[in-house]
Amino acid sequence: GHKFWGTQPVPQIGEAPPEVDGPIEPSKPVEELRELYELLSANYVEDDDASFRFQYSAEFLSWALKPPGYHKDWHIGVRVSSTKKLVAFISAVPIRVRVRENQFDASEVNFLCVHKKLRSKRLTPVLIKEVTRQCHLKGVFQALYTGGVLLPTPVSTCRYYHRCLNIPKLVTVRFTGVPPNMTLARMIRLHKVPDRPRLLEHGLREMEDRDVPQVANLFNRYMQRFQMVPVMSEEEVRHQFLSGLGEGPRGADSWKHRREGQVVWTYVVENPKTHKVTDFVSFYSLPSTIMNSDKYNLLNAAYLFYYGTETAFEPGAEESGRLKKRLEELINDALVIAKSADFDVFNALTLMDNVCILQDLKFGQGDGLLNFYLYNWRTAPLAGMTAQPVA
Ligand code: YNC
Ligand code: MG
């Protein structure tokens, strides 16, 4: 054998030819992202009883922090002067938002983090004032941010819901429990999902670059249903919905394809006759560190992201229940895809049209809340950010 080459990312002699072309190991994050990744991995958001802590991947951070038009000046870190160790961070990215009938450019502030050893020293106001100053320098005077903590004053508050996909693991790590009137076997059966997405027959496939114009159009029209939404250009839609890791294989099982380091997953339904994209659904990967289990270190969680369907624009679709049915089909297929990609749980918030599908798709209510905030913008509270409940 080859003592050295056997350890390198090169095809090994005698290895079967690949099904898809692409890298053998994921690209390494640049040094600054590695440091941020390490700060957040040890010090970022935990659940109420400190059992799980978000573990953003370097690929996720790169996706979230470098959208089209991002500013390096809006990625702000604090280092210890002697050691240069990164101990605090805050970021903003440009976003165009519509709140009710007003559209404006704003910044979306995220990844505020202070090292555990430096808490309660009023470093947070320093970070917030600096990111505000940097936004002002770019002519941006409004901001959007979310948080589990209650601050003055939410425009909306959403609850997390969880669809369990891997019951044995979720029970083992005490993410969920077996209710007294239930057995583990019955719970597993209850949470089974189909082997294949139902909408494959109707043209469901992974989104590709050529779908960007149609998805952008459908996204912006569908978002008109809601009171506070991002407004996205085609370039932004490409960034938000395509993994940037290239197209997968073609053929019957291509929906199962998963790329190393993939963050966002988007599927479209293309009408086989008209070639029109009629629906899309997306989710992203955000694992959490499991802090109190010897058996598992990582909870593989998928989060429902954006979706849209032309069904919403058909007369009577809402009243007749056709819209609810279509959203259930779409999101159920997202569950099937997530399950086949080995996600343990699929999370969703009580926003957009989610509320109407949560119960039938067997999501359970979580204890986490997410508050939505606007900086320097007054508006009456937004009704859970949902549209009118769909029949
Ligand atoms: C928080 N999450 O109330 P008062 S979410 C905002 N967002 O101020 P110190 C927060 N403010 O009440 P610590 C906050 N948490 O006295 C606390 N505060 O007026 C406020 N956790 O500061 C707090 N990440 O430094 C108080 O607090 C003041 O050492 C106290 O640090 C807090 O990214 C924190 O949950 C959260 O790393 C950094 O606990 C720390 O306790 C930590 O003494 C784990 O601070 C990770 C975590 C938060 C995730 C997020 C959104 C942040 C939004 C910030 C606001 C942006 C405003 C818009 C600016 C741009 C404007 C333009 C244009
Ligand atoms: Mg502090």
pTM for this prediction: 0.92
Which ligand has the minimum distance to the alpha carbon of residue 124? 1
Given the DSSP bridges, would you call strands 264-270 and 277-285 parallel, antiparallel or unpaired?
antiparallel
Query: Is pLDDT at 241 greater than 70 in this prediction?
Result: yes
Average pLDDT score, the chain:
94
Quick one: average pLDDT of 122-126?
A: 96
CB-CB neighbours of 272 under 10 Å: 9
Which ligand has the minimum distance to the alpha carbon of residue 125? 1
User: Pick the residue with more confidence: 89 or 246?
Assistant: 89
Q: Confirm if 375 and 145 have CB atoms less than 8 A apart.
A: yes
Does any ligand 1 atom lie closer than 6 A to the CB of residue 120? yes
Please report the domains of the chain, with CATH numbers, ordered by start residue.
Answer: 31-155 (3.40.630.30), 158-367 (3.40.630.30)
Cα(1) to ligand 2 centroid in Å equals 54
Query: What is the reported pLDDT for 28?
Result: 67
Query: Is pLDDT at 11 greater than 50 in this prediction?
Result: yes
pLDDT tens string 18-32? 888 888 887 666 677
Cα(115) to ligand 2 centroid in Å equals 8
Does any ligand 1 atom lie closer than 6 A to the CB of residue 144? no
Does any ligand 1 atom lie closer than 6 A to the CB of residue 119? yes
Does any ligand 1 atom lie closer than 6 A to the CB of residue 126? no
Query: What is the reported pLDDT for 260?
Result: 80
Q: Range with the lowest mean pLDDT among 134-138, 148-152, 242-246? A: 242-246
pLDDT band at 391 (very low <50, low <70, confident <90, very high): very low
Residue closest by Cα to atom 48 of ligand 1:
112
All residues at 6 or more sequence positions from 79 whose CB lies less than 8 Å from its CB, including other chains: 85, 86, 87
Query: What is the reported pLDDT for 390?
Result: 43
pLDDT tens string 214-235? 999 999 999 999 999 999 999 9
Query: Is pLDDT at 387 greater than 60 in this prediction?
Result: no
User: Pick the residue with more confidence: 326 or 388?
Assistant: 326
Cα(27) to ligand 1 centroid in Å equals 32
Query: What is the reported pLDDT for 388?
Result: 40
Interface pTM (ipTM) of the complex?
0.99
Atom of ligand 1 nearest to the CA of 147: 5
pLDDT tens string 245-291? 777 777 778 888 778 889 999 999 999 999 999 999 999 999 999 99
pLDDT band at 384 (very low <50, low <70, confident <90, very high): low
Cα(303) to ligand 2 centroid in Å equals 30
Q: Range with the lowest mean pLDDT among 30-39, 96-105, 109-118, 379-388? A: 379-388
Atom of ligand 1 nearest to the CA of 135: 63
Query: What is the reported pLDDT for 21?
Result: 87
Cα(88) to ligand 2 centroid in Å equals 9
Cα(153) to ligand 1 centroid in Å equals 14
Residue closest by Cα to atom 9 of ligand 1:
122
Does any ligand 1 atom lie closer than 6 A to the CB of residue 54? no
Which of 112, 122, 369 is the pocket-test mutation for ligand 1 (most atoms within 8 Å of CB)? 112
Integer distance in angstroms from the first to the last C-alpha of the chain?
A: 65
Q: What percent of the chain stands above pLDDT 70? A: 97
pLDDT tens string 288-306? 999 999 999 999 999 999 9
Residue closest by Cα to atom 59 of ligand 1:
132
CB-CB neighbours of 87 under 10 Å: 18
Rg (CA), the chain: 22
Q: What percent of the chain stands above pLDDT 90? A: 87
Give the whole-angstrom CA distance, residue 269 versus residue 219.
13
Which chain residues have CB less than 5 Å from ligand 2, an ion?
114, 121, 123
Give the whole-angstrom CA distance, residue 123 versus residue 145.
18
Query: What is the reported pLDDT for 246?
Result: 75
Does any ligand 1 atom lie closer than 6 A to the CB of residue 112? yes
